[in-house]
Amino acid sequence: MSVTIKNIAIATDGSENVMNAVEWGIEFAKTNGARVAALYVVPPSGVTLAMRGEMWSRSLEEHLKDKGKKATEYVIDVGKQTGVEVEPVIIEDKTPSDGIVEYAAENDVDLIVMGTLGMTGLSHILLGSVAENVVRHAKRPVLVIP
């Protein structure tokens, strides 16, 4: 079986835990001559709006968009260092896993690369895992880097 990888989506939340996945994804893109989309998903603000009020919700949303811009800029910088083209993509009003899965399906992504916090036990059960949900629901291959 021959696999061609030309479009890679690297999901990022801007945390230090994702840096290793970014480096793997960029190196994988360089090796395969692939383009990269740096994905950051801003979750819906409806829950915070109901709980805290409209002004607080807008402030949080702006903070998350700014965090997304910084997170995707990091991926762009790593790509520039190795000659890999990176397009920043900020997706709004989706859960992170849904945003990643839908983007991959709609944009003909050949590989999704993402990191994981490696949660176990009660934290994992209560919070779930974005990486686990993406692996379960994506119709594309997913490379999860611890």
Looking at the 3D structure of the chain, how many domains does it have? Answer: 1
Task: Report the distance separating Cα 137 and Cα 134, nearest Å.
Answer: 5
The pTM score is 0.86
The owner of tokens 């209560």 is 126
Q: Which amino acid is at 138?
A: A
Mean pLDDT score, 122-126: 47
Judge whether 62 lies within some domain. Answer: yes
Confidence (pLDDT) at 123: 47
- HSE of 107, CA atoms in CB hemisphere, 13 A: 20
Closest CA to 12 of 85, 89, 84: 89
Is residue 92 assigned to a domain? yes
Q: What is the CATH number of the domain that holds 44?
A: 3.40.50.620
Q: Write the DSSP string, 17-49.
A: HHHHHHHHHHHHHHHHT-EEEEEEEE--SHHHH
Residue 108 maps to a domain: yes
For residue 63, give its domain range: 7-145
Instruction: Give the residue, 86 or 48, on which the prediction is more confident.
Output: 86
- For the stretch 38-77, pLDDT in tens is 999 998 876 445 555 566 567 778 888 999 999 999 999 9
- Does a structural domain hold residue 16? yes
Collapsing DSSP to helix, strand or coil, 140 comes out as coil
